[in-house]
Structures are given as structure tokens and as C-alpha cells.
Amino acid sequence: MLRGENLGTLVVVSVLPADLLVFERALLARGEVVVGIDEVGRGALAGPMTVGAVVVRSDERPPDGLNDSKLLSPTRRASLVEPLHRWAAEWSLGSVSAAEIDDWGLRLALAVAATRALNGLRSAPTHALIDGSFNLLRSPTDVGFSVATPPLLRFAHLPVTTLIKGDQRCATIAAAAVLAKVHRDAVMVALHEEFREYHWASNKGYGAPAHLEAIRRRGPNVHHRRTWHLPSCSP
């Protein structure tokens, strides 16, 4: 069964587990414009958080080897980018900076990044497949902001289906994750050239030992999420 938020129940025919289009196919059959959404960089200490959005309008088979981006090597992820661009009807990425995450908090920043991703599409999706257990396109109403006023969350009421481990079960979600991760990794490698002491080319802004030690010795810089629990500087 496929359950969508406020949509009742959509019956999905039984298929082999390897069929990554089972959710998309059921929605396409009833005329939906389907977008898969996933984020990368949520748990990093530094750098942007990026959301990918991939639209399909047919059940054409996705590129061979598509899987959860975390289970793929960097080389394999990079090799999938061009095939995914050709396979997707449309794709887009949206990011929020470390400063925006600090200003808005993680949930609101996620919703802004997802909104930016969908804003970059030419068409208007009618149903979103989202990795995880909550709707990235929405934010709790009690979340405030300290400096910058966030943009309007235009897609907060788009019908969605959230899928635990969706990046292993759903082609559009997996594709969105791969495209977002390849892009964000490239951003962190580029930032490494300016801030080599943090070793971002290898750790991509996550809490690896060398990164944590550099924060202790040198303190955070403009690309660190300062509202997070970063290590204290050594005296």
C-alpha cells in the first residue's frame, strides 16, 4: 500500500523489490506529475544543505546501478549524473547556506531548500515522493527566525508520500539524492581550496576527526553552522 498525506490510500500492485518505479508508476497511472525529493548535508557541521528534485512523466527504466547515494562510491555517483539528466523529465537543486540554517533552524531551512529546488522546475508537480518520515516542504508553525525572513513555502500543501529509506526503494528519490550529493560534494571540494585546514575535500564538512580537531585549533569559519555544538577552541 502507498499512503499519501491527506490522500487516503492508493493501492499498488505487487512487484519485485528491485522495481524502483513502483511508487512512481502508481501515481503516473492516475495522471500525476511526480517529483522525487531528497536532501544531503543535513548532519554536516559546515557547508550548505542541498535538496534534489527529480520529475518523471513516464515509467522508463532508470539508469543501471541507481541506488541510495550513500551506498555508492564517489566515482559511481559521478558516473550516474549524465544518465540521470537524460532519464529525468526535469531536475533541479536547491540549497541553503550555513548562515541560513543558523537563522531559521534546521526544519525551516530544509523547507526553504526544498522550495528552492521545486522553484527551479519548469512544470508544476502534483505529487511529491519524499525520503524519510516527514514532509520536507513544510515547517512547524512555531519555528521562528533571527535575522533573515524566509521566503514563502509555496509547496507546503502539495500532496506528498513520505517513504522511510525511500532512496533505496524509489527511483526519483534515489536520483534526487545522487544529483544533490554530487553537487554538494563538489561545493565542499571547491571550498577546501580556500580553507584547507578543515580537510573538506575528504570529509565534506561532516564531523570527521581531522575536521573536529581543526575547529578546536582554529575555531569555526563563515561556512560553519555556529548554532550547532561545535568543538571549543584550544587555548
Q: Does a structural domain hold residue 228?
A: no
**Residue 43: how many CB atoms within 10 A of its CB?**
11
Helix 171-194 / helix 74-87 crossing angle, nearest 10 deg = 130
DSSP 132: S
pLDDT band at 232 (very low <50, low <70, confident <90, very high): confident
pLDDT of 151 reads 86
Asked whether residue 204 is assigned to any structural domain, the reply reads no
pLDDT above 90 covers a percentage of the chain that reads: 82
Statement: residue 8 has pLDDT above 80:
no
Domain range holding 83? Answer: 2-184
> What is the overall mean pLDDT for the chain?
90
Q: Is residue 219 part of a domain?
A: no
pLDDT-derived band at 55 (thresholds 50, 70, 90) equals very high
Residue, of 5 and 207, whose pLDDT is higher: 207
Question: Is there a domain that residue 235 lies in?
Answer: no
Counting every residue written for the chain, the total comes to 235
- 39 pLDDT more than 90: yes
pLDDT in tens, 106-158: 999 999 999 999 999 999 999 999 999 999 999 875 555 555 688 899 999 99
Report residue 216: phi and psi, to 5°.
-60, -40
In a domain, 206, yes or no: no
Q: Considering only CA atoms, which of 185, 166, 169, 167 is closest in space to residue 68?
A: 167
Structural domain total, the chain: 1
Q: Give the least confident one: 83-87, 96-100, 231-235.
A: 231-235
How do residues 167-205 score in pLDDT, each as one tens digit?
A: 999 999 999 999 999 999 999 999 999 999 999 999 999
Answer yes or no: is 165 within a domain.
Answer: yes
Quote the pLDDT of residue 234.
61
Name the residue type at position 70. Answer: K
- Look at residue 192 and tell me if it is in a domain: no
Structural domain includes residue 55: yes
Q: Is residue 180 a contact partner of residue 52, using CB atoms and an 8 Å limit? A: yes
C-alpha cell of residue 142: 512555531
Choose among 63, 15, 49, 7: nearest CA to 32: 7
**CATH at residue 108:** 3.30.420.10
DSSP assignment string, 85-113 = HHHSSEEEEEEE-HHHHHHH-HHHHHHHH
- Give the separation between CA 145 and CA 11, rounded to whole angstroms: 40
* Residues 12-28: tens digit of each pLDDT: 433 334 689 999 999 99
